[in-house]
Structure 1
Amino acid sequence: MEIESNLIIKNDKLEAFDILRKALTISATNINFLIFTILTSLPLFCFLVYYEPFLHKFLLGISEMLKPPSADLYWSTLSLLSIPTDITRKLNNEFPEGLVQIGLVYLIPLHLLELSTVLVIVDLASKTYTRQEEEEPPLTLKEMVHKPFDVTRVIGTLVTFVYAFIISTISLLGLIWLAAIYYVVTKFNYDVLVLVWCWVGFLGLMTMYLGWSAAWNMSVVISILEGRYGTKAMASAIFYSVGNVWRGFRLMLVFFAWEVGLRLPYIYFGCKGTWSVGILTQIGLFCLGNVVKWVAFTIYFYDCKNREIERKLIMKAKKRAVESG
């Protein structure tokens, strides 16, 4: 009973801000961790040098395409609902090569490179965080590269990553669909009810997307650290997320705002997606945010797991107290 009480006392509950603070501390103050994650992020950085300018140019083309031809044009509710179909037709007619290219780049190499960095970041973040909590000396560079990844674990994590990616993409497409409707409606200020419907739907889906994204990211962490893959990892992440959805939502909101905020200036000011120091800075900050994000979700996983252990210990203690009278 005394050991269980000590475990409960040791498992400090972390809020979203505390998790971010610890993630930033690990990422910024541990020199070996910082050097190793920078080296492992180099392939992703180099690929983004090609991808980001192309993405900016593509998004600018879409924003120009969405501009209405006339402010006097009458839009009914049915025509508003058909906007995504019209956009798809225009994309197929005006941007067929770009659409295929960005789709293939987004689906395959970008996420494979991201997964390769995630594998290293989560593994090192786990070792660094546990050593820090146990007040042990930090990892050396030799210790960081000492143990290679098991092939089975890499393949299993890839399966979990694909599951999370598919669910995330479907949710993101729903957000884009509502955002496209809202974008055109605001250009005409036609129907207040439609505007309210778009806002409610968009915010509701955005909240669900960010909240569940925390669980999807945790499932990848579980695959890397505990060897559970696919639906088992997803189920474990959902189980640990019970009662912690709000904290996960706040974490994802921070990183989502970071990623979107880095791209918005280029779209808003109409940058043509050319290679520049600004884009290199944006990509560097994006990679830095990616490191902090996965360190944060590693800590988030441990905290959710500790809370579950604490809950079970408390239930056992109560059960023993009842049985002993």
Structure 2
Amino acid sequence: MKGYDEMEDNRVMRNQKAGVFDIIKQASTIFSKNFIIFIFLTFLPLFFFMAYYEISLQRTLVDASNILKLRSGPYSYSDRSILPAIPVKSTKDFHHELVRLGLLYLVPRHLLELCAIIATVDLASKIHVEERVTTTLKEMMHRPIYGARMRGTFITSLYVLSFSTCALSGLIFLVTSYFAFWRRSMFLGFFLVFYGPIFVAMLAKYLEWSGVWNMSIVISVLEGTYGTEALLHSAYFSRGSERRGQLLMLVFFVWGQGLRMSSLYFGWYEGGSWGIAAQVGLWCLGNVLKWVVFMLYFYDCKTRTLEKKVDVELGRVTKAVDVRKDTETE
């Protein structure tokens, strides 16, 4: 009886989920021990591109805000007396800028970030699985990532990019409609009561889905499964842990958007100051840590799911043996 109780205690301890802060703490340990390697993998091409991209994006956001202020104000958009106070690009130039930013986001940023993700997840996984304290760039280069796995990860990332772009478009539409139509409207109270909860619900769902999508990319990097199969595996392993994935995404979402809002508030996008370099540098650090976190989150979810499956099978076997013993006793 004592041995059975000990086995039950061990099973319960194994099936306990690692908390959000436990995962982040463990990822921070791996990251801090291999800081130089992760910096090398992440900062080189992505850092310089993101500095340029953030300056362009934040200037466009300011232009969009100015246009919405003009259109939602108590004055006409064609009122020339107020135009000098609020500089606004022409509608044609603004639309061209949006298209350019969209292409930059979909192609070079996606590819550069994907390369950093693959290298980071692969290296962090080797450190975690082998339980090594540190590794070197030379050791990493002797263990290359196979081209087939990179192609599979690219396919999965295209699915994730499509889904996340659609979800973000919905969120952006709600925010834009608020500034364009409701902010100075007599229906502001209606918006806060009706649209506000819809936005919060959509944001919460987006963060939850993002946890599943990010895990699917980790699965493609580590196991070679890609596309819809990787997404299905991710949904299976994360079943029952959606809340953890959502909270993990919330941490890094707040980190990234907080840095961007700070840059907009202080005007770091103007003149290419050191402020934008600091913002992008901190974002890159957070981005690397995020993928180490999701690598650990995947291993924890997979281990918990497989152990739960084994426990179910053992329970069935035990039940069958008990029924057989009862039959023989009778």
Q: 5 Å matches for 1:99-248?
A: 99-132=98-131, 136=132, 138-184=134-180, 187-191=183-187, 192-248=189-245
Residues of 1 paired with 2:138 and 2:233: CA distance? 32
2:325 paired residue number: none
Q: What is the CA–CA distance in structure 2 between the aligned matches of 1:199 and 1:38, rounded to whole Å?
A: 39
How high is the sequence identity, in percent, across the aligned residues?
42
How far apart, in 1, do the equivalents of 2:141 and 2:15 lie?
A: 29
Q: For each residue in 1:145-184, what CA deviation from the matched residue of structure 2 results, as whole angstroms up to 9, or x when unmatched?
A: 1111211111110000010010000000000011112234
Q: Which runs of 5+ in 1 are unaligned?
A: 74-89
**2:273 equivalent in structure 1:** 276
Listed as ranges, the matches of 1:78-89 within 5 Å are: none
Deviations 1:125-161 (A, max 9, x none): 11111233xxx55434332111112111111100000
Q: Which stretch of the first structure deviates more once superposed, 60-69 or 9-18?
A: 9-18
- Asked if 2 retains the 8 angstrom alpha-carbon contact of 1:53 and 1:274, the reply is no
- Look up the SS of the partner of 1:67 in the other structure: helix
Cα distance between partner residues in 2 of 1:242 and 1:228: 18
- Could you state the TM-score of these two structures normalised by the residue count of structure 2? 0.85
Whether the aligned pair in 2 keeps the contact of 1:217 and 1:297 (CA below 8 Å) is yes
2-structure distance, mates of 1:91, 1:205: 32
Whether the 8 Å contact between 1:27 and 1:34 is mirrored in structure 2 is yes
Report if the CA contact (8 A) 1:60-1:270 is conserved: no
Give the corresponding residue for 1:39.
Answer: 40
Q: CA deviation at 1:203?
A: 0.6
**For the residues of structure 2 that align with 1:111 and 1:70, how far apart are their CA atoms?**
34
Q: Give how far 1:61 is off.
A: 0.6
Residue 242 of structure 1: CA displacement? 0.9
Q: Number of paired residues?
A: 303
Query: Which 4+ stretches in 1 moved above 6 angstroms?
Result: 4-8
Pairwise mapping of residues 292-303 of structure 1 onto structure 2 (< 5 A)?
292-303=289-300
Provide Cα deviations, 1:170-222, integer angstroms capped at 9, x if missing partner.
00000001111223455315212233221111011101100000000000000
Deviation of 1:266 (Å): 2.6
SS in 1 for 2:210: helix
CA positional deviation for 1:283? 0.8
Residue of structure 2 equivalent to 1:49: 51
- Matching residue of 1:306: 303
Q: Give the drift of 1:36.
A: 1.6
Q: RMSD across aligned C-alpha pairs, in angstroms?
A: 2.4
Which one scores higher on RCO, CA 8 angstroms, separation ≥ 6?
1
CA shift digits 1:93-116 (9 cap, x unpaired): 341331222111111001100000
Check if 1:18 corresponds to 2:22.
yes
Normalization by structure 1: what TM-score? 0.86
1:54 is displaced (CA, Å) by 1.1
